[in-house]
Structure 1
């Protein structure tokens, strides 16, 4: 059994924490507001993909980081990339002397160039860590890389609906198979997840990002689902152009994609009428996750001197949408005509 801290109990944090707790792990959620009250009162409830409810009160919920400093073998960061900076110092304080950090964000991570090798080794990804605060508090040497594939939803405070997916591939940043990465893999496996230890976690990050950097902003800008984008010729062509540019960037960084571009688009099409997380964010009036998913690729394109005109254009548009929403304190969603 490991002592595990999960910062955030939203869709992914709640799913992981619930599964781990149900498997007998010692889980503490670090949360605020309604989620804190709900988990303290009732524990965590997980509705599985078949609609069956599983509940456990064998979890703790806290907002007192200082009171539990130095206690955790694993600290899982289960929030969006642009939210990590605000909790970085608090998260670091939770780590035991041999504890590890498991970031569960989409996009290019702040640690990407740590132990990367080559001319860009040690470069800070400013799109993921603009001020350097995250790296200063959460050293890359303590990080186990992780890629998040499951889809889930926070139904209400303390209640998570698992939609589909089981994979959380993990890996050391230098590609080795260490005792600590195996311990993370084993814990996730006990929770019922598929968590293979990979020797190139960056290639898996790019495979996930390949779709996110493309479909998320297009979906957000057009208020369209994955199948809509893939089955409308011009938007499918735009997606393919963006993915081709991203692949050129990744190739210069030594990445090989294990699936073809067309297969990746076909996979998105099969998901059907699914609203991407970025579309859900703008509909709810939340800040969309743009820089980690799109801005980071633009940044890496400049570092590798790779032209990315389609990605640059879409990035400019979605950043303007974010700015306008923020200034107007508004959300964006299609409303039926009455």
Structure 2
């Protein structure tokens, strides 16, 4: 099977390393200095206090690459549309596309049921291009739980976790999902197939909404955000509102907010992926983590004042910093 990791940053390279160890040779699509280092020196991964160098096949988004059987997209949500021309060139008739992307997915309404119209979500697919050009029917949902950091170009450090959940947007094509789960499990990733992958997305989003924006606003790591009385209070309000929105769309939150916050604290001094992007001067995944949640809140007529307030503060912070440069 030809496998491509599209958007091979920290988490994508972690997946690639695991697949490589069991004989798969995934093609990595990356960019910038990270791509240059992967091509020249390979990938260096530190995991469980052990470092390993792996020679990988790395490509840029302008490079020729033959169509793939499985594409694992680990781009940020806002980077998918700009990559469509190259990404769609890698798709053949039977290609599966696994979207391992934080936040509310562009295919959210596909197969949701409840009499809802199957349509793109404006915040993450404003022109419906992803829906039209990739198509939700070939898409598989995915939630990645490992915490991984990009230390330097071509160098990653695994912080914690090995759990992955995958599932169909519609209750169809279970065979393909089981095949992919077997590949990932054989590669040492603790992979589960979920009948309702949206529920799993909401559970992770619960933490993303609470901690990712706050980490950029304050510069705090997860342990500090989860234990400081002030940010813990704000995170609790954010989680209450996210839970109300998710519940409207059928999500079930099987733990208390306190337990979820304690889980975040236990990760330790880890920088969220959004904070890592901010520190590296990259665009932030606010469209999928904040804007899409508020879009769903508006459609459901659910009030979300704390999420809206944090969104406004974060946007003002970023706008002010841009105007000063």
**TM-score normalized by structure 1?**
0.90
Query: Contact 2:9/2:30 (CA < 8 Å) preserved in 1?
Result: no
Match of residue 54, structure 1, among 52, 55, 72: 52
1:99 aligns with 2:95: yes
How many residue pairs were aligned? 325
SS of residue matched to 1:169? strand
How far apart, CA to CA, are the structure 2 residues paired with 1:28 and 1:252? 39
C-alpha distance 243-117 of structure 1, shift in aligned 2 (>3 A): same
Query: Contact 1:22/1:56 (CA < 8 Å) preserved in 2?
Result: no
Query: Contact 2:61/2:86 (CA < 8 Å) preserved in 1?
Result: no
Query: Contact 2:31/2:61 (CA < 8 Å) preserved in 1?
Result: no
Query: Contact 1:282/1:288 (CA < 8 Å) preserved in 2?
Result: yes
Match of residue 235, structure 2, among 219, 226, 239: 239
Q: Which residue of 2 aligns with 1:5?
A: 4
How far apart, CA to CA, are the structure 2 residues paired with 1:113 and 1:77? 19
Question: Does 293-302 or 127-136 show the bigger shift?
Answer: 127-136
Match of residue 84, structure 2, among 68, 81, 88: 88
Query: Contact 2:68/2:92 (CA < 8 Å) preserved in 1?
Result: yes
Match of residue 315, structure 2, among 313, 319, 323: 319
**Matches for 1:1-338 after TM superposition, within 5 Å:** 2-48=1-47, 50-57=48-55, 59-63=56-60, 67-69=64-66, 71-176=67-172, 178-329=174-325
How far apart, CA to CA, are the structure 2 residues paired with 1:290 and 1:26? 32
Unmatched 5+ residue regions in structure 1?
Answer: 330-338
How far apart, CA to CA, are the structure 2 residues paired with 1:291 and 1:244? 20
Query: Contact 2:213/2:274 (CA < 8 Å) preserved in 1?
Result: yes
Report deviation, 1:66. Answer: 6.9
Per-residue deviation, residues 197-223 of structure 1 (Å, max 9, x unmatched): 110100000000001101111222122
Report deviation, 1:64. Answer: 6.3
Report deviation, 1:260. Answer: 1.7
C-alpha distance 98-65 of structure 1, shift in aligned 2 (>3 A): farther
**TM-score normalized by structure 2?**
0.94
How far apart, CA to CA, are the structure 1 residues paired with 2:83 and 2:208? 24
SS of residue matched to 1:13? helix
Report deviation, 1:22. Answer: 1.8
SS of residue matched to 2:57? strand
